[in-house]
Amino acid sequence: MIVGTHVYSKRAAQEGGVATAVSLTSMMIRPLVLAFSRRSWYLMNRAPSSAKSEGIMQSIGLVLKRGEAQALTLGKEISQFLTQSGRTVLVEESCKDLAADWHATFTSNIADEADLLVVLGGDGTILRAAALMNDKPTPVLGVNLGRVGFMADVSPHEAMRELESALAGTAVFVKRMLLEVTPEQGNTARVLNDVVIHWGGVARLIDIGIRIGEAREIELRADGLIVSTPIGSSAYSYAANGPLIHPDIQGILLTPICPYAGLKRPMVLPPDLHIELRLKKGEQFSMTMDGHTTIGLPLGSSVKILKAPIPFVLAQSRGHDYIDVLREKLNLV
């Protein structure tokens, strides 16, 4: 465990689901805990792996940030390369207007039908790709066209080289934990960063009952609660005074937002414990998943959260180091 200090601002903004740190002057200093296990690092996720051999990666899905011109240009270039090499190109239904020009097929189940997803955008587009996952851990190659690139760390000029490496079975893939979220009156969703329970209107306190495994319920009275994965610990949870957790560790992080009573500090839980949140007092409850989907929740209802049965398999640039990324891209350590 490494313990240090970091300068924190309450105005730390979120960019694509990742909290961005601010200047080291005239700010409040607070402890920063960065924990990682060398055993976890080597035994669980760090070893290079070719997710599929060259002959099997036949169908390649493209997930785009449609509002980004560079995503369209690079997407067409990748599509031409893939079709010339005899592979099938898939696009989402929202991109069906591109299908004819790109010699692609549009589908509503791109994550299930593809052998590899190439994501062209930023970390927000990576989070959207995670939400597409069902029961198949389709590997993802994320090309960063945004400003942070914490998860999508392949640069545009590296995209073709990394794609060829993935198709040849020589790319490095890492496994990242997903959460499975099921509201009492709703559909199950997959989340890569975090789930936030909060007040839907003007900021007011809400009461949440937290049941962890078979233990008795823990009370929380706060502005809200963040439930995050290790990779999501650098996002909203960090802005709410939560610790950083190395993404090679498996665990679930509970971070209260401005707690008044009950659970007043973040808590890291083993990954196999089931969590149930019951909304006990308040109005206009909302649940936001990975910053892109928000649904209303009725008073008295519950939300069940657990580790998803599949991981999020993400291509990683060679030479990528988590600590260096925290320092260089997020200025957190």
Catalytic residue annotation:
123
Beta bridge partners of 151: none
Torsion on CA atoms 11, 16, 18, 20, rounded to nearest 10: -40
Nearby residues of 168 by Cβ (< 8 Å), 6 or more positions away: 54
Q: Judge contact between 192 and 231, C-beta under 8 A.
A: yes
- Which amino acid would we find at residue 310? I
φ, ψ dihedrals at 145, nearest 5°: -115, 5
Q: Judge contact between 223 and 200, C-beta under 8 A.
A: no
Return the structure tokens found at 76.
């067409």
**Owner of token pair 């306190």:** 205
The pairing of strands 244-245 and 28-35 is parallel
With 0-12 / 13-18 / 19 or more C-beta atoms within 10 angstroms meaning exposed / middle / buried, residue 128 is buried
